[in-house]
Amino acid sequence: MTERTVARVLPGIETQDGAGVRLRRVFSNRDVKSLDPFLLFDVFGSDKVRDYIAGFPMHPHRGIETVTFMLEGTVRHRDSLGNSGSIGAGDLQWMSAGSGIIHEEMPQESPRGVKGFQLWVNLPKAEKMRDPAYRGAVKSDIPTVAIPGGELRPIAGSYNGIAGPLTGIARDPAYFDLRLDAAATAVLPSPPTQTMFAYVYEGSLGMAAQAPGDLYPAGTCLLFGPGDQASLKAGASGARFVIARAEPLHESIAWGGPIVMNTQEELELAFEELNRGSFIKVGQQGRRG
């Protein structure tokens, strides 16, 4: 087996989005070539209400999928197609914007604060104009798999034959949530052609083949190079992290804010349709969930 190594370390930047939500943008359009098909990864939330309560009011998406995973608190969502619901602690929503959707995501005030991740995944050209769709999972839907020195929760994809609750997603990506005890090692097989990254959100993490002191702290994103597996070792206080991997698309990208298409002409058309009120396509039916 060929071991993956850390190709890049992505510390991210502090910024604001929506109506003033403070967040860490771990990667975005400046990193798109090396992260394909992943476009953006945000870590949002705080124990201070003022940092998150303004939320993300109505805004459009086309050509991408947005993946919201909550660690603490609740986000309420609704959209132009009639969908509405809540994403609570430990829950996940995988939304395919497809040909176009306008939605809002509003964190709710919580005594424990709010913390979550949002990942954007690019859709292939052949699927960018399909009907929008939602796939959701509550915490109890996600299996917990015991691994040496910790546990793994497959959200999408499968591990050792145990599948996560989200299926039927373009390119069959994997998205795992892991916990490792102090100094424990997890060996994660991975198809060598897939793009793979990990985001450390508690403790510290390193590669098993590296020196014990070479650790990456919470708040760090690791982009891995090619290989058949990644052997990851937790630091002295353990580690909690998410891992995502998927086949790259190798397609051209035209990116304008919340819309990602393949050509500039497609991007300009999307904004023209948004301005003249034809962004949401006729015949699409919302589904509550």
Residue, of 256 and 213, whose pLDDT is higher = 256
Is residue 34 pLDDT above 90, yes or no?
A: yes
pLDDT in tens, 137-155: 999 999 999 999 999 999 9
Q: Could you give all domains of the chain from N- to C-terminal order, each with its CATH number?
A: 12-141 (2.60.120.10), 143-250 (2.60.120.10)
156 with 175: CB under 8 angstroms?
yes
Q: What is the pLDDT of residue 285?
A: 42
What stretch of H or E contains 238?
A: strand 229-246
The Cβ of residue 35 has, within 10 Å, a number of other Cβ atoms equal to: 26
Q: What is the pLDDT of residue 167?
A: 84
Q: What is the pLDDT of residue 284?
A: 44
Q: For residues 39 and 44, what is the distance between their CA atoms, to the nearest angstrom?
A: 16
Reported residue count of the chain is: 289
- Band of pLDDT at residue 162, cut at 50, 70 and 90: very high
Q: What is the pLDDT of residue 97?
A: 95
Report helix, strand or coil for 258.
coil
Lowest mean pLDDT among 81-85, 169-173, 197-201, 230-234: 169-173
Give percent of the chain above pLDDT 70.
Answer: 96
Q: Mean of the pLDDT values across residues 33-59? A: 96
281 with 99: CB under 8 angstroms?
yes
Q: Mean of the pLDDT values across residues 118-131? A: 96
- Band of pLDDT at residue 286, cut at 50, 70 and 90: very low
Lowest mean pLDDT among 75-89, 103-117, 204-218: 204-218
Is residue 127 pLDDT above 70, yes or no?
A: yes
Q: Mean of the pLDDT values across residues 44-48? A: 93
- Band of pLDDT at residue 214, cut at 50, 70 and 90: confident
3-state secondary structure the chain: CCECCEEEEECCEEEEECCCEEEEEEECHHHHHHHCCEEEEEEEEECCHHHCCCCEEEEEEECEEEEEEEEECCEEEEECCCCEEEECCCCEEEEECCCCEEEEEEECCCCCCEEEEEEEEECCHHHCCCCCEEEEECHHHCCCEEECCEEEEEEECEECCEECCECCCCCCCEEEEEEECCCCEEEEECCCCCEEEEEEEEEEEEECCCCCCCCEECCCEEEECCCCEEEEEEEEEEEEEEEEEECCCCCCCEEECCEEECCHHHHHHHHHHHHHCCCCCCCCCCCCC
- Band of pLDDT at residue 212, cut at 50, 70 and 90: low
Q: What is the pLDDT of residue 172?
A: 86
- Over the chain, what is the mean pLDDT? 93
pLDDT in tens, 221-254: 999 999 999 999 999 999 999 999 999 999 999 9
Give percent of the chain above pLDDT 90.
Answer: 89
